[in-house]
């Protein structure tokens, strides 16, 4: 999906500004200062949020107002490519992998993660790509196991590989 | 002298211990490989390596990181020379003469210049670092909380104003970083922006933020944007180069000494300025070299000086960036910010007192930088043929492995899926921020500096009974804040004139 760059910039800055306003309102729920006149929990965040809103206004003005606008002869015409489906697919695979780690174990989930992401990237027939991805995935599981579990002693949920190895 | 030796000897013993030498060797190899991969600069390489430091001592982790940092700066020049694709932004200028030289049939000569000059730049700037760092830390000891708060604001004014094309967007990114730093416990006993979520009570973990903002966008770019990318490779058919002419001689090195000295000085000075980084240093060094040259018209055609100057400068930035990082706690670059993060997570607080209270540690960094550069020289020469192979890995194949390392790294922090999801959310936001030219490095820098700035402001306010005017009217504070204002104005002026 292609979006006009100017629209995308304004949309993103607008979203940041909206979040800043909501968070400013949220600061009123913070604990007040214990001593009158001294900084409380909300003191520093409010300064930052006001600063952010001022920057958002300046950045929007830079895009919208012709006088402040930089020479955007090339940029203005450009659009940005947003592949929401690809991002969504990768995000879904990452989230499923992270959640699956504790249920099916590090070995199977990591193997499946690499196969799912790598197979479409490999050239050749689907069967060949799948077989190649499976081989690479197996190697990746072994390397990560030795690196993180054996050497760095990270407490990964393992299904069948031993937690400690004695050489 | 006796005092110096009492710190230098333990530092030398630590640096030359087998364990730390091995760590630095791994760091150098890892840094070169990651530096070669287009889009992966030193900051991204360090972000991915963060989980490997969990079990390391502070000195070990810092030595491992400076090895990666130095090597990644060099690694970026390899694809710039061989396939006209700079691995890091700071190697972009190297393409001009490096690729031209490789096309003429001298790729090894170009790689030797890049490596040799990078090592010289690294060593010279390390010597400057220890001298300047000690002097600056002495000045820093005179500063109280209000002055340190002002120094932090000054750092942010440079970081926000000059890291990116638009100052307004840069400052917006700085604000986002500061805001993210306030999540969790406030230090006054209350909670901020946690929305009753248990996983936010301790704030956003540094590793999650660093991996999310720096590494995830690159992995997404490799898997989505670069999936159809075809890289140009050098075509040396028809040239007359031989193995004998495709290397540097002693005379060639001697001729490059002035270029290396100029590059080292420029690189160190640029590195000291927060936010400037290797890209600025290499461009400045290249332009200065061209100005000094008797044959400026030859620049861009594949001459030695065109590679020597930028390569010396971008490696000299490493030690230069450590000066403000260690003396004032203001990171000179995204990579230095991660280094700062590693130190704070290990309980070492950078600042003026670091040089007096942890002198052996600072000495270990000093000797470590020199040893890292020497290891880099050996590894660079030994693996010259191998590095060329790394450039052949297609980005869309590399992407899944980078993503795997990201997920495993984020998960291994607390073995919680929430950390992975938080990393992913931050990464997707950063990916879109980069699309609309909102720089993400200021977010990381501001996040790390946020707590230091807030703590100093609160301390200063407490000392002055909550009187803001008393805090801000201290003479040194006023001067530094005025400098910050001037910097911000200059940044907006640069931003407006950009592209005209």
Q: Give yes or no for B224 touching A (CB within 8 A).
A: yes
The token duo for B14 is 């630590």
Q: For chain A, give the mean pLDDT.
A: 86
d(C-alpha A83, C-alpha B164), whole Å: 24
Q: Looking at the partner chain, which of B168, B220, B432 has a beta carbon nearest the beta carbon of A58?
A: B168
In eight-state DSSP terms, residue B352 is T
Answer yes or no: are the C-beta atoms of B369 and B234 closer than 8 Å.
no
Question: What would the DSSP string read from start to end of B265-320?
Answer: HHHHHHHHSTTTHHHHHHHHHHHHHHHH-S-GGGTTS--HHHHHHHHHHHHHHHHH
Confidence band, pLDDT 50/70/90 cuts, at residue B179: very high
Can you give the pLDDT at residue A40? 84
Other beta carbons within 10 angstroms of residue B139's beta carbon come to 11
Confidence band, pLDDT 50/70/90 cuts, at residue B495: confident
Answer yes or no: are the C-beta atoms of B15 and B371 closer than 8 Å.
yes
Taking alpha carbons only, the member of B245, B263, B253 closest to residue B377 is: B253
| Cα–Cα distance list, B172 to B177, B316, B450 (Å) | 9, 30, 14
Q: How buried is B116 (Cβ within 10 angstroms: 0-12 exposed, 13-18 middle, 19+ buried)?
A: buried
d(C-alpha B306, C-alpha B117), whole Å: 11
Chain A: residue whose CA lies nearest to B228: A121
Bridge-based pairing of strands A2-4 and A79-81 is antiparallel
Average pLDDT score over residue span A3-13: 90
Q: Give yes or no for B253 touching A (CB within 8 A).
A: no
- DSSP count for chain A of H helices, then E strands: 4, 2
Judge if ipTM > 0.85. Answer: yes
pLDDT tens sequence across B322-378: 888 888 887 767 788 888 888 888 888 787 778 777 888 888 888 998 999 999 999
Average pLDDT score over residue span B206-232: 80
Helices (H), B383-440: 384-390, 395-414, 417-435
Instruction: Determine whether the interchain pair B404/A94 forms a contact, defined as Cβ–Cβ distance below 8 Å.
Output: no
d(C-alpha B327, C-alpha B159), whole Å: 17
d(C-alpha B157, C-alpha B273), whole Å: 11
The token duo for A115 is 């196969």
Chain A interface, best mutation among B189, B225, B401, B407, by max A CB count within 10 A: B407
Confidence band, pLDDT 50/70/90 cuts, at residue B230: low
Average pLDDT score over residue span B19-40: 86
Instruction: Determine whether the interchain pair A87/B424 forms a contact, defined as Cβ–Cβ distance below 8 Å.
Output: no
| Cα–Cα distance list, B415 to A70, A148, A154, B422 (Å) | 47, 12, 8, 13
Instruction: Determine whether the interchain pair B433/A39 forms a contact, defined as Cβ–Cβ distance below 8 Å.
Output: no
In eight-state DSSP terms, residue B11 is H
In eight-state DSSP terms, residue A2 is E
Instruction: Determine whether the interchain pair A68/B496 forms a contact, defined as Cβ–Cβ distance below 8 Å.
Output: yes
Q: Which element (helix H / strand E) includes B192?
A: strand B191-192
Taking alpha carbons only, the member of B24, B14, B23 closest to residue B377 is: B24
Give A41→chain B minimum CA distance, Å. 6
pLDDT higher than 70, residue B414: yes
Apex CA B469: angle with CA B468 and CA B472, to 5°? 85
Confidence band, pLDDT 50/70/90 cuts, at residue B499: very low
Instruction: Determine whether the interchain pair A30/B186 forms a contact, defined as Cβ–Cβ distance below 8 Å.
Output: yes
Taking alpha carbons only, the member of B321, B300, B319 closest to residue B309 is: B300
Answer yes or no: are the C-beta atoms of A59 and B169 closer than 8 Å.
yes
Chain A interface, best mutation among B192, B227, B438, by max A CB count within 10 A: B192
Taking alpha carbons only, the member of B160, B171, B156, B164 closest to residue B499 is: B164
In eight-state DSSP terms, residue B464 is T
| Cα–Cα distance list, B326 to B90, B336, B340, B493 (Å) | 23, 9, 8, 31
Apex CA A157: angle with CA A153 and CA A162, to 5°? 65
pLDDT tens sequence across B31-80: 988 888 766 778 888 888 888 887 788 899 999 999 998 888 888 888 88
Instruction: Determine whether the interchain pair B436/A75 forms a contact, defined as Cβ–Cβ distance below 8 Å.
Output: no
Percent of chain B with pLDDT over 70: 93
Instruction: Determine whether the interchain pair A52/B179 forms a contact, defined as Cβ–Cβ distance below 8 Å.
Output: yes
Confidence band, pLDDT 50/70/90 cuts, at residue B234: low
Q: Which residue has the higher pLDDT, A113 or B34?
A: A113
In eight-state DSSP terms, residue B407 is H
Q: Looking at the partner chain, which of B176, B412, B496 has a beta carbon nearest the beta carbon of A148?
A: B412
Please state the pTM of the whole predicted model: 0.81
> B123: left (phi > 0), else alpha (psi -120 to 50), else beta?
alpha
Give A112→chain B minimum CA distance, Å. 11
pLDDT higher than 90, residue B24: yes
Q: Give yes or no for A62 touching B (CB within 8 A).
A: yes
Confidence band, pLDDT 50/70/90 cuts, at residue B229: low
Measured between beta carbons, the chain A residues lying within 8 angstroms of B51 are 148, 152, 154
Q: Give yes or no for B238 touching A (CB within 8 A).
A: no
pLDDT higher than 50, residue B396: yes
Answer yes or no: are the C-beta atoms of A114 and B399 closer than 8 Å.
no
Give B496→chain A minimum CA distance, Å. 5
Q: Which residue has the higher pLDDT, B28 or B354?
A: B28
Instruction: Determine whether the interchain pair A94/B433 forms a contact, defined as Cβ–Cβ distance below 8 Å.
Output: no
Q: Give yes or no for B458 touching A (CB within 8 A).
A: yes
Residues 6+ apart with CB under 8 A from A2: A79, A80, A81, A82
Query: Which positions 147-206 of B are in contact with A (Cβ < 8 Å)?
Result: 165-166, 168-169, 171-172, 175-176, 178-179, 182, 186, 188-193
pLDDT tens sequence across B237-266: 445 555 567 778 888 899 999 999 999 998
pLDDT tens sequence across B259-293: 999 999 988 888 877 666 677 788 888 888 888 88
Q: Looking at the partner chain, which of B193, B454, B457 has a beta carbon nearest the beta carbon of A23?
A: B193
Can you give the pLDDT at residue B500? 47
Taking alpha carbons only, the member of B268, B253, B317, B265 closest to residue B289 is: B265
Other beta carbons within 10 angstroms of residue B168's beta carbon come to 27
> B275: left (phi > 0), else alpha (psi -120 to 50), else beta?
left
Chain A interface, best mutation among B22, B404, B426, by max A CB count within 10 A: B404
Give A162→chain B minimum CA distance, Å. 17
Task: List B191's β-bridge partners, or say none.
Answer: B185
Percent of chain B with pLDDT over 90: 22
Give A54→chain B minimum CA distance, Å. 8
Q: What are phi and psi of A30, to 5 degrees?
A: -75, 160
Instruction: Determine whether the interchain pair B397/A68 forms a contact, defined as Cβ–Cβ distance below 8 Å.
Output: no
d(C-alpha B328, C-alpha B154), whole Å: 11
Instruction: Determine whether the interchain pair B166/A70 forms a contact, defined as Cβ–Cβ distance below 8 Å.
Output: yes
Q: What are phi and psi of A80, to 5 degrees?
A: -110, 145
Answer yes or no: are the C-beta atoms of B442 and B173 closer than 8 Å.
yes
Q: What are phi and psi of A87, to 5 degrees?
A: -60, -45
d(C-alpha B122, C-alpha B137), whole Å: 21
Measured between beta carbons, the chain A residues lying within 8 angstroms of B54 are 152, 154
Answer yes or no: are the C-beta atoms of B443 and B176 closer than 8 Å.
yes
d(C-alpha B188, C-alpha B182), whole Å: 12
pLDDT higher than 70, residue B498: no
Q: Give the distance from CA B495 to its chain's centroid.
A: 23
Q: Give yes or no for B234 touching A (CB within 8 A).
A: no
Answer yes or no: are the C-beta atoms of B339 and B69 closer than 8 Å.
yes
Instruction: Determine whether the interchain pair A81/B466 forms a contact, defined as Cβ–Cβ distance below 8 Å.
Output: no
Taking alpha carbons only, the member of A154, A119, A23 closest to residue B180 is: A23
d(C-alpha B310, C-alpha B266), whole Å: 10
CA end-to-end span of chain B: 56
Taking alpha carbons only, the member of B122, B43, B93, B183 closest to residue B365 is: B122
Taking alpha carbons only, the member of B88, B77, B95, B109 closest to residue B387 is: B77
Q: Give yes or no for B55 touching A (CB within 8 A).
A: yes
Q: Give yes or no for A115 touching B (CB within 8 A).
A: no
Can you give the pLDDT at residue B29? 92
């Amino acid at each position: 999906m292609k979006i006009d760059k100017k629209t995308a910039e304004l949309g993103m800055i607008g979203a940041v500004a909206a979040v800043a306003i909501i968070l400013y309102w949220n600061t009123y729920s913070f604990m007040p200062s214990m001593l009158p006149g001294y900084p409380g929990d909300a003191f520093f965040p409010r300064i930052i949020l006001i600063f952010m809103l001022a920057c958002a206004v300046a950045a929007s003005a830079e895009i919208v107002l012709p006088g402040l606008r930089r020479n955007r002869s090339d940029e203005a015409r450009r659009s940005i490519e947003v592949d929401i489906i690809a991002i969504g697919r990768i995000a879904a695979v990452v989230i499923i992998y992270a959640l699956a780690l504790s249920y099916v174990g590090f070995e199977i989930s990591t193997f499946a993660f690499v196969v799912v992401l790598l197979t479409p990237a490999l050239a050749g027939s689907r069967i060949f790509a799948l077989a190649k991805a499976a081989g690479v995935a197996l190697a990746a599981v072994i390397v990560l196991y030795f690196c993180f579990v054996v050497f760095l002693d990270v407490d990964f949920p393992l299904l069948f590989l031993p937690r400690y190895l004695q050489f | 002298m006796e005092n110096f030796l009492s710190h230098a000897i333990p530092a030398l013993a630590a640096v030359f211990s087998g364990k730390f030498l091995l760590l630095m060797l791994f760091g150098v190899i890892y840094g070169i490989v990651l530096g070669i991969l287009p889009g992966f600069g030193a900051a991204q390489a360090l972000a991915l390596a963060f989980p490997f430091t969990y079990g390391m001592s502070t000195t070990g982790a810092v030595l491992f990181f400076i090895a990666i940092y130095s090597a990644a700066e060099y690694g970026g020049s390899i694809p710039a020379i061989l396939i006209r694709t700079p691995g890091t932004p700071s190697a972009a200028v190297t393409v001009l003469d490096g690729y031209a030289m490789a096309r003429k049939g001298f790729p090894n000569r170009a790689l030797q210049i890049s490596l040799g000059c990078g090592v010289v730049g690294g060593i010279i700037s390390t010597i400057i670092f220890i001298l300047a760092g000690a002097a600056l830390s002495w000045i820093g000891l005179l500063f109280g909380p209000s002055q340190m708060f002002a120094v932090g604001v000054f750092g942010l004014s440079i970081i926000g104003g000059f890291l990116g094309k638009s100052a307004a967007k840069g400052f917006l990114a700085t604000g986002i970083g500061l805001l993210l730093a306030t999540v969790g416990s406030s230090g006054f006993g209350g909670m901020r922006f946690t929305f009753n979520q248990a996983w936010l009570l301790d704030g956003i973990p540094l590793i999650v933020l660093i991996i999310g903002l720096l590494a995830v966008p690159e992995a997404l770019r490799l898997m989505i944007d670069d999936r159809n990318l075809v890289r140009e490779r050098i075509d040396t058919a028809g040239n007359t180069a031989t193995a004998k002419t495709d290397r540097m001689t002693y005379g060639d090195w001697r001729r490059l000494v002035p270029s290396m000295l100029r590059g080292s000085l420029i690189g160190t000075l640029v590195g000291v300025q927060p936010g400037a980084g290797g890209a600025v240093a290499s461009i400045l060094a290249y332009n200065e070299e061209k100005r000094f040259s008797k044959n400026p018209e030859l620049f861009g055609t594949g001459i030695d000086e065109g590679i020597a100057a930028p390569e010396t400068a971008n490696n000299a930035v490493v030690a230069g960036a450590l000066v403000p990082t260690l003396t004032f706690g203001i990171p000179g670059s995204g990579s230095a910010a991660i280094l700062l993060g590693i130190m704070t997570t290990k309980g070492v607080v950078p600042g003026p007192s670091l040089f007096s209270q942890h002198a052996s540690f600072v000495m270990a960094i000093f000797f470590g930088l020199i040893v890292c550069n020497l290891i880099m020289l050996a590894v660079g020469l030994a693996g010259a043929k191998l590095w060329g192979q790394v450039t052949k890995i297609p980005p869309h194949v590399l992407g899944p492995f980078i993503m795997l390392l990201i997920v495993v790294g984020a998960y291994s922090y607390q073995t919680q899926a929430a950390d992975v999801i938080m990393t992913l959310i931050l990464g997707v936001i950063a990916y879109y921020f980069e699309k609309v030219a909102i720089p993400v490095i200021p977010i990381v820098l501001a996040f790390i500096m946020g707590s230091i700035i807030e703590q100093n402001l609160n301390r200063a306010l407490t000392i002055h009974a909550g009187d803001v005017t008393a805090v801000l009217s201290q003479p040194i504070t006023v001067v530094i804040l005025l400098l910050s204002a001037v910097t911000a104005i200059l940044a907006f002026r640069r931003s407006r004139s950009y592209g005209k």
